[in-house]
Amino acid sequence: MLHLREKRGGTKDQSSLGSHVSKTRLAIRERAEKRKRTHNTHRKHRHDEGPWLMRVANNWWNRLIGAVYSGSFSDETEQYAAHSTTRDYIWNTIGSSMWGFLFPALTIVATQLAGIEQAGMFSMAFALGQVLLWIASFGVRTYQVSDLDEGHSFRDYVICRVLTCTAMVIVSFLYCSIMRYTQPMLGICTGVLGFRAVDQLADVYEGRLQQMDKLYLAGISQTIRSVGAGVLFSIVLLLTRSMPAACISMIVAAVISFVLVTLPLTLFETQPARKASIAEIRAIFEECSPLFGAMFLYALIDCVPKLVMQSVLSYDNQLYFNAMYFPTHSIIMVGSMLYKPQLVRLANIWSEPSKHRRFSLIVFALIGVVALVSVVVGIFMMWLGIPILGFMYGVDFQQFAFLILLMVLAGFLSAAVDFLYQIITVLRAQEGVVTIYFISFIIALVISLVLVSLFQLTGAVIASAVSMAVLFGLLLVKYFSIMKTARS
């Protein structure tokens, strides 16, 4: 019995020992897991404290992957607020600036890395792109963002834009064939015009963001696309010294930014749209045809001096003209930054008849601000602008001082013309506008043919300013006529 008790006691001791060992192992495991959790927490904390841009990129990538796994982008919860006026102004300014100054900046890069002749070709392709992009745009953006009641589905706008971008590509191919472009001009035009086509496809999605009062997101999308295209162009040109390759790389950058940023951002941050309708698509084309006609003719009016120069003067004159066009472009871009965020607000004001007087005050106040900006730009160009242009392009622009002042005047007139066009669109009074632009185009063509033949580069600059003055005067008469009709 004693032996049995001892045996049992031994068993009990062994059992206690085993239990103690198990508890010890469990405690060790718990401490290890705690250390692992603490380590992971520290790692996550360090990740969250990483560079802001890296955190944003990682979060965006995770959001994209999550949407892909879930099988739907539109079902994702919106994360960015609407009605943010400050952010709208900031990011619209940044986006418009990057988009507007992309080609002038790349012209400088091309001048330094590829020479004046090929930079002149790039400038000509850019001018051509400024005309043909209106085939892709079809004047729909302002009409779309002022469609506050969503009379047309967003899918209607997308299908319209796909059709117009396709038309732009076809017209671009036909133009290059008719002009019998060969390399390197053919490759340069392919890259520039292809980039413009993708850019305008992205524009309809950015218009949707603006329509939903999230203009700042559209500005971010535009910034990423423009910066990406500019950086890739510069890198490829630096490494290859091939202008066609550099231009085609811009298409690659635009497609990547569209697929990874613009498209998913719009689907994430806006409500799902109802189904498209053939009747509604047709209605959009019918409504915007006058706008397209007007803006296409406007682009032609702006480009006519350059097109006439192409048949008379060498490509280096295209470079000089575009360099002097820089202040004009700056004024147009600043004007666009000022009025674009106001379009939805102006549409709301106009919808109330009692506020029509206030509407007119805002319109002329904005034109006055553009005039003030033009004066500042003119002073700057005479003071520092001309030496800066000379440094960037390696050309003495002091000899063109008077022509640069004329370009500043043309810049004010161009910005005012663009603004009045937007206002007429908001007022839904675009009937007869095409006639105004057609008359101005005929005048611009005649003036350009005569002046470029007589005075070459000087004649082209004078023709540009006079053409815009004629168009501005006619549009101003049209605006006063609309306001008079509204009061009666």
Alpha-carbon distances of 234 from 112, 136, 231, 316, rounded to whole Å: 11, 26, 5, 21
Encode pLDDT of 430-475 as tens digits: 777 888 999 999 999 999 999 999 999 999 999 999 999 999 999 9
The span from the CA of 138 to the CA of 160, in Å, is: 9
- The pLDDT score that the predictor gives to residue 139 is 85
Q: Tokens 């045809």 label which residue? A: 289
- The pLDDT score that the predictor gives to residue 31 is 54
208 closest CA partner among 124, 257, 269: 269
Q: Which two tokens stand for residue 32?
A: 């290890």
Question: Where residue 50 falls among pLDDT bands split at 50, 70, 90?
Answer: low
Q: What is the mean pLDDT of residues 332-352?
A: 82
Question: Where residue 65 falls among pLDDT bands split at 50, 70, 90?
Answer: confident
Encode pLDDT of 21-33 as tens digits: 455 555 545 554 5
Encode pLDDT of 207-226 as tens digits: 999 999 899 999 999 999 99
CA dihedral 70, 153, 260, 210 (to 10 degrees): -120
Question: Where residue 334 falls among pLDDT bands split at 50, 70, 90?
Answer: confident
Contact 247, 181 (CB under 8 A): no
Encode pLDDT of 70-103 as tens digits: 776 666 666 777 878 888 889 988 998 899 889 8
Domain segments of the chain as ranges: 86-276, 294-488
Q: What is the mean pLDDT of residues 396-418?
A: 93
- Per-residue burial over 441-453, b = 16 or more CB atoms within 10 Å of its CB, e = otherwise: bebbbebbbebbe
Q: Which residue has the higher pLDDT, 314 or 165?
A: 165
Q: Which residue has the higher pLDDT, 311 or 331?
A: 331
The span from the CA of 57 to the CA of 46, in Å, is: 16
Alpha-carbon distances of 190 from 174, 184, 246, 257, rounded to whole Å: 12, 10, 11, 19
3-state DSSP helix/strand/coil % of the chain, to nearest 5? 85, 0, 15
- The pLDDT score that the predictor gives to residue 45 is 46
460 closest CA partner among 325, 309, 297, 313: 309
7 has a pLDDT exceeding 50? no
Question: Where residue 310 falls among pLDDT bands split at 50, 70, 90?
Answer: confident
